[in-house]
Amino acid sequence: MGKLFASIIAILGIGLVALPTGIISSGFIELITKKDIEKTTIICPHCGESIEHDL
């Protein structure tokens, strides 16, 4: 009974740490990717449209 209780507590403990960490990490990755796209996009000063180019 003690091993079962300990394993349930261990799984819940890992879940309480791993799940929020994964959510926060994915948010940071999304933010960094968005900033990289904004840096490489050239916008036409006349019409405001983005210009596709190869780097």
Residue 37 corresponds to which amino acid? I
Residue 54 binned pLDDT confidence (cut-offs 50, 70, 90): low
Q: Tell me, what's the pLDDT at 48? A: 84
- pTM of this prediction exceeds 0.75: no
For 7-48, give the DSSP string. HHHHHHHHHHHHHHHHHHHHHHHHHHHHHHHHHH-EE-TTT-
Token reading at 31? 């933010």
- Tens digits of residue pLDDT in 2-46: 999 999 999 998 889 988 999 999 989 988 887 776 667 788 889
Q: Tell me, what's the pLDDT at 53? A: 66
